[in-house]
A and B are shown apart, each in its own frame.
Chain A
């Protein structure tokens, strides 16, 4: 350390001077194929705004997804992306993070993708607590495959797979996540309040660890009226705010006047809040900065040279190689 401890080196400042500025359009790729009015658009706009504001280098940013309408999001990001297989976004994202901890990793998944076929990965991802942002686009339906009930569909919802209505209570992604060991960040937000959506994803991005954000997302195609009562009645939204959580603007509180000051370190209150649905609580429910990240615990300092990789692979393949000598012996 030098005498001027807090002063960044002149060198660093000079190099920063020439940092590249990106506009929101720089992060946009192609034309989204979502239905018009779909809440996924709002999520896309929010993450693009975050990328611009945080000056994320497109070549250092990865969006990973599974399968579903929501999982198409990486296609519309002009960054690296991985449109994976159904339910398996998280293992892919974990692999990316483990091999390249320098990359910023986002995961976009749906309620079907995450809460049915991918549920096992979800639980373990929370426990691994790897530094990434997971956005659960929860439209309470299988959208892409044209309206089958998902685990988060409300009780009694009629769908192609449940023509007489569902028989089971909806699974609550928040209470599940809050019950898993090592949980370090849980938030909920709705797609139709853009400022909150942006702020919540930004807070998730700034949290070091696995940040779980459930986004209540409208699917105007299959469930056009489902969220209308909440959408049109600001009294049915409960804003969670705190000096260590979201700080909401007066602009917002003018419309959304139901407020609760909630300290995100209070897990018991977080669980209570998570269990309620009407009004929909939005904001940061829980945050613990001190949970270690798996990639730090398992940090490998070796350079990933082609030799290292080749030798590692050879060693693995050798385990399954049938050696002619051993066969003859």
Chain B
């Protein structure tokens, strides 16, 4: 075995490197990142604009899209100029935010534009046109540690504002109805018909023309007064007081005191307000019944006495503001992790943001152990396991793209967890948080996961991983173009794996060894994972150094194992989401085998579409009619015309559907039966045989009955 290979194998197995002469590993980065160091030169969906006072779906906006939309909306003659100028201002805005942090949108936009005016005077004009087309006041921000909380809070606010609007409309409607009931009593009761009230209703011009005392006396004596029972009046007054006195929303639609930075405070506040919440929701439920005139003291009093004793339903609680908890990335330890899961398990309307800044945190248990993204993964897995928690895991770079999912989670009637990786930690050199976050998604270390319990009853409808790149594959693969040693352009397909992601992080430098030459024994990480066990091969990933030269960095076994674990977790996610489901694939293989051995079925001819035609149904054997000795009515054909029931209501009566039948044949005479049969317009009364042989005039009656027998 060559010395080189031996050294490389030794590095792979033990992490021991042979010489110090190789380039400093900390200076390397994944080859695919060769071009992305200065993001301010690129156009992408960040920075974000948080619009104030906008409806939920318009609260989060992307500056580059706003610029594109504004340019497109302009006249054709201006379109190109606006797009060009807009992009220049955009670039300036990115630089500004990178240097100075987030700010007020108007201030940042105009100050960036005015700096450019010195280069090109028309830019000022374009900036103004674009600004007017944006019609958006708000804040502008790039991806940094504080961004996830600001975005989630803004989205939460917009969702609460919507709820407040609905709540206020509902309470206004109910108060209107409740007060209307009191008003009706006032107008229809004694007070409304008193001489004074009548006088004030007529007004001054014609007051002299009436005797109001007399008018009042006539009105009062002519129609009974409308009066509510005392208990109903009391109840309605109490409902009005409770609803008007609520402290959950302000009239302008704000919800106050519902945002917290830890679980304990939120739970305490929730418990303190519980009784008040029960009282209000109970009042609303009773008010609905009162407004519809459906409140029945006998049945509803007991029901509402125990309202909320068994906990409130989320659909009820959902009318009140949700509790938002934004935890700080650094502060989450095992204890807070447990508390978060506990709170989510309580099934209360808590929306929790768990922000993680570092997914490569070293393990506190095992020295030297690397475990990628485990802390957040624990919370996410536990929450999904609860089955009624809405879960969204998304890196900060994907937050804008996942804004609809974020809103669904915030609007969900139940607990929701948002696990966000900010990418902002001090270990990735000058790579921006956005890039680090994006790399975490790309490498499957922090895949986007949505679990929406309201989407259906099974995994297929609830779990959604479609936001990830190349969801069908183990890793996303990118074409990478470079110039080879002979300065010829060349390209190669490079997968992006956790071994590329960790290359961004200085704490992982010792797991890489950059090779000077290329050897047969080297195998790309993705292939290495597919071809275990590795015999005399050393896994590598493509990197570039400061000099932008493409090199191979060997990785050690520990990192390879970690990449393998990430892949296993990704596979289980894929299976749950219905991609490469192992059970299904086994079944399919078995079915295929069976199908191959079975003979092909006959081809049956295809029928044409039916043409409308009138058909005559075959007469069926008619059910036995009652014996013609007894009188009977073909009840189902009765047209409820009252003819027979007027003849003798004891003999002829209506059933539940108001159709006639013979209730008591002996309650009348044969004459009545015959006359009814003659009178029945639809001829469905059959008088049968006379029951009293002594009835006078029977011969004539029997003859008249003949057609109806």
Q: Which residues does A use to contact B, with CB under 8 Å?
A: 1-3, 5, 9-11, 14-15, 18, 20, 23-24, 32, 36-39, 41-42, 44-45, 48-49, 57, 59, 191-195, 218, 220, 231-232, 238, 250-251, 253-254, 257-262, 269, 301, 303, 305
Contact = CB atoms under 8 A, between A and B. Distances in A.
B413 A37 contact: no
B315 interface: yes
Interface in B308-322: 313-316, 318
A251 B636 contact: yes
Nearest to B622: A254
B613 interface: yes
A18 B300 contact: yes
Contacts of B622: 254
Given A3-B388, A192-B682, A36 B617 contact: no
Nearest to B657: A49
A49 B639 CA distance: 12
Contact of B683 (A39, A232, A253): A232
B639 A42 contact: yes
Nearest to B621: A254
B616 interface: yes
B268 interface: no
A30 to B, nearest CB: 12
Contacts of A193: 637
Given A45-B659, A193-B637, A254-B619, A303 B313 contact: no
A36 B640 contact: no
Given A1-B412, A2-B413, A11-B285, A262 B643 contact: no
Contacts of A3: 387-388, 414, 453-454
Contact of A194 (B294, B620, B640): B640
Contacts of B315: 2, 9, 11
Interface string B655-688: 0111100000000000000000001111100000
B640 A303 contact: no
Contacts of A9: 313, 315-316
Given A1-B412, A42-B639, A232-B683, A194 B659 contact: yes
List 4 A-B pairs, minimum CB-CB distance, nearest first: A45-B640, A42-B639, A1-B454, A3-B388
A194 B612 contact: no
Interface stretch (B141-149, B168-176, B417-425): B168-176
A14 B640 CA distance: 37
B641 to A, nearest CB: 4
Nearest to A42: B639
A18 B299 contact: yes
B202 to A, nearest CB: 16
B657 A260 contact: no
B337 interface: no
Contact of A258 (B616, B679, B682): B616
B616 A259 contact: yes
Interface string B288-319: 01001110100110010000000001111010
A3 to B, nearest CB: 4
A42 B454 contact: no
Nearest to A45: B640
Contacts of A191: 639
Contacts of B111: none
Interface residues of B, number: 55
Contacts of A32: 642
Contacts of A269: 612
Given A9-B316, A301-B169, A303-B173, A45 B658 contact: yes
Contacts of B639: 39, 41-42, 45, 191-192, 194
Given A2-B313, A253-B617, A260-B613, 9 more contacts: A1-B412, A2-B454, A38-B641, A41-B640, A45-B640, A194-B637, A262-B612, A269-B612, A301-B169
Given A18-B300, A59-B293, A257-B619, A37 B285 contact: no
A15 B414 CA distance: 23
Given A37-B641, A260-B612, A194 B636 contact: yes
Nearest to A260: B614
Contacts of B293: 57, 59
Contacts of A195: 636
Given A24-B657, A59-B293, A259-B616, A37 B454 contact: no
Contact of B656 (A1, A20, A24, A238): A24
Interface in B172-190: 172-173, 176
Mostly, the B contact residues are loop
26 contacts: A2-B388, A11-B285, A11-B316, A15-B300, A15-B303, A24-B656, A24-B657, A24-B658, A36-B679, A42-B641, A45-B639, A45-B640, A49-B657, A49-B658, A192-B637, A192-B682, A193-B637, A194-B657, A254-B620, A258-B616, A259-B614, A259-B617, A260-B612, A260-B614, A261-B612, A303-B172
B436 interface: no
A260 B614 CA distance: 5
Nearest to A262: B612
B612 A231 contact: no
Nearest to B303: A14
Contacts of B659: 45, 194
Given A44-B640, A257-B619, A305-B176, A5 B682 contact: no
A194 B681 CA distance: 13
Nearest to B307: A11
A37 B680 CA distance: 7
B615 interface: yes
Interface in B548-582: none
Nearest to B684: A192
A100 to B, nearest CB: 13
B145 to A, nearest CB: 33
B377 to A, nearest CB: 23
B610 interface: yes
A266 B414 CA distance: 46
Nearest to A305: B176
Given A24-B657, A48-B658, A251-B636, A37 B612 contact: no
A5 B176 contact: no
Contact of A238 (B172, B296, B412, B614): B614
B666 to A, nearest CB: 24
Contacts of A18: 296, 299-300, 303
A15 B640 contact: no
Contacts of B681: 37, 192, 218, 220, 231
B636 A231 contact: no
Nearest to B658: A45
B646 interface: yes
Contacts of B683: 232
B140 interface: no
